[in-house]
Amino acid sequence: MNLEDYYRILGLRSGASFADVKASYRRLVQQYHPDINPDDLKAKDKFIAVTEAYKFLQTVLPSEDFRSKSGGEKTYASSTTQVQTQSADPKTTVTSHPPNLEDIEKRLKWKTYEQLQRFLQERRFPQAIALAEALMARLPADMEVRQWLAIAYQIWGRALIAENQLPKARIYLKKALKTDPYNKALWNEVQQDFQRLELKL
């Protein structure tokens, strides 16, 4: 996607200020958040796209704002996002580093983990799973995120056994194994859950 596409996702015209981007992002995140739309896949996809667009623009626009305030001129290094701003004194170069996309991903990941823990403690299992699935879609190669999602499936499966919703419990226990199939500790626990489930049948 190009820069205009990211603006469009946020419902803005190309060249909007970072303040406009931030305001639009906050509004759209509240509208499409998985907590508010737990069963709406389109809303989840929109939430992911909006977050991605905001994170990309966040790495670019603060530098643009800095240039407009300082009156200086900005140049981009070809192989990095480092920005050099030439001040009024030609001998003085101020180097600023926009937020690294990897750092943003890490912050998003751990904030989501904290929210996931709260949902599980509060037994808000559909919201926990929607949140973990959205993070898994965003970070599909992250093994920790995969493990968190599998554990969320297992915990909900156990809760469903306790509520005698056995067919549904079986589905989520199977999802736990499918999501993280090489986790031996999880595998052993889920097998015990299946045994408890069989005893109730």
DSSP output for 160-198: HHHTT-HHHHHHHHHHHHHHSTT-HHHHHHHHHHHHHHH
pLDDT score at 99: 53
Residue 65 has what pLDDT? Answer: 42
3-state DSSP assignment of residue 96: strand
Looking at domain 3-60, its CATH architecture is Orthogonal Bundle (1.10)
Helix (H) or strand (E) holding 73: strand 73-76
Q: Which two tokens stand for residue 133?
A: 């699935």
- Asked if residue 191 lies in contact with residue 181, where contact means CB atoms within 8 angstroms, the answer is no
What residues in the chain have per-residue pLDDT under 50? 63-97
Q: Which runs of consecutive H residues, i.e. helices, occur in the chain? A: 3-9, 18-32, 41-70, 101-121, 125-138, 143-162, 166-179, 184-200
Domain with CATH 1.10.287.110 in the chain: 3-60
Q: Which residues pair with 95 in a beta bridge?
A: 84
- The fold adopted by the segment(s) 101-199 is 1.25.40
The burial of 57, by beta-carbon neighbours within 10 Å (0-12 exposed, 13-18 middle, 19 or more buried), is given as: buried
Quick one: pLDDT at residue 84? Answer: 37
Q: What per-residue confidence (pLDDT) applies to 101?
A: 60
pLDDT of residue 138: 83
**Token digits of residue 3:** 């820069």
Q: Where exactly does CATH 1.25.40 map onto the chain?
A: 101-199
